[in-house]
Amino acid sequence: MMIMTTWQGVITIIMAMLGTMLTRFLPFLLFPESKEPPRFITYLGTVLPYAMTGLLVVYSLKGVHLTSGSHGIPELLAIIAIALLHIWKRNMLLSIAGGTAVYMLLVQLVFS
């Protein structure tokens, strides 16, 4: 097992801080409010949230086996809860938190 020296830890923290700041501030430097961003960037801003949502859904369901275990029932019920909460309140944070809570309750209490 390798242990970092104090200076290696300090350098690691500084590099993580600089990397985080770069990713936060670079878009504002490249695309100031006074200029119109390129059409491609506007297009990505429109399309990427939906693509990421689809990617997260696929990733979340990749381990579900319909022929074994709970047969994907907790996952299906959580998806239904997310959809209903979103239709009802139109609040993404509430939908995600509610769906997660439903899923965790089902896995821990019902399908344990």
What is the C-alpha to C-alpha distance for residues 30 and 37, in angstroms, rounded to an integer? 9
Does some domain include residue 80?
yes
Does some domain include residue 32?
yes
Does some domain include residue 1?
no
Q: What pLDDT, in 10s, does the model give residues 5-23?
A: 999 999 999 999 999 999 9
Question: Domain count of the chain?
Answer: 1
The model's pTM: 0.63
Q: Residue 112 above 90 pLDDT?
A: no
Does some domain include residue 41?
yes
Does some domain include residue 2?
no
Does some domain include residue 67?
yes
Does some domain include residue 93?
yes
Does some domain include residue 29?
yes
Which residue segment(s) compose the domain that 58 sits in?
Answer: 7-110
In this structure, are residues 92 and 86 in contact, taking their beta carbons and an 8 Å threshold?
yes
